[in-house]
Amino acid sequence: MKTNKFTRFFEAFASRATRATGSSTAFLLALTTIVIWVITGPIFGYSDTWQLVINTGTTIITFLMVFLIQKSQNKDSMAMQIKLNELIAVNRKASNRLLNVEDLSEAELHALHQFFGRLVEKAKAEDSLSESHSIEEAEEIHEEKLEEKEHRRNEKRAEKQAVQ
């Protein structure tokens, strides 16, 4: 992926800002600012301007931090997904259908969550910690059930036709 100078600069700046704002030094700086602001309250008679200074400053910092935090979380989330995808891809028993599962819709994720909940219940019923079930295995079982259901329907139809 090609990036321009501005993007590279912003990436570097955002990474440095994330590290800096998450440091003890940044917290102590913020705490010192609040203490100084409180101490200066009587000097400025707790005026509207005195309150406006801290409100404006904290609002601006909060506004910028929301975007910085979101960028950092997006990067961390993508890195985590790549690591998980690698583990899924190299595990022979894992379903490759779960690669990039984060791109599914909320309804699809909910359906997968329910499916894995059923696998948990199945594993509990077997009293075996080493037993594993995959999406493919569950689909095979589902197909077998559908075939069995269709077979029973055909038998019932045949019985009805024989009676007539």
Tell me: the pLDDT tens digits for 74-93?
999 999 999 988 888 888 77
pLDDT of the residue at 131: 60
**With b meaning 16 or more CB within 10 Å and e meaning fewer, what string describes 149-162?**
eeeeeeeeeeeeee
* CB-side neighbour CA atoms (13 Å) of 116: 8
Mean pLDDT across the stretch 24-35?
Answer: 96
Mean pLDDT across the stretch 31-46?
Answer: 96
Q: Considering the chain, what is the average pLDDT of its residues?
A: 86
Is 0.85 topped by the overall pTM?
Answer: no
Structure tokens at 142: 């589902």
Are the CB atoms for 124 and 135 separated by under 8 Å? no
pLDDT of the residue at 54: 95
pLDDT of the residue at 38: 96
For the chain, the C-alpha Rg in angstroms (whole number) is 30
pLDDT of the residue at 33: 96
Each domain of the chain, given as residue ranges in start order, spans 1-103
- State phi, psi for 22 to the nearest 5 degrees: -95, 10
pLDDT in tens, 92-114: 777 777 888 888 899 988 988 88
Are the CB atoms for 88 and 100 separated by under 8 Å? no
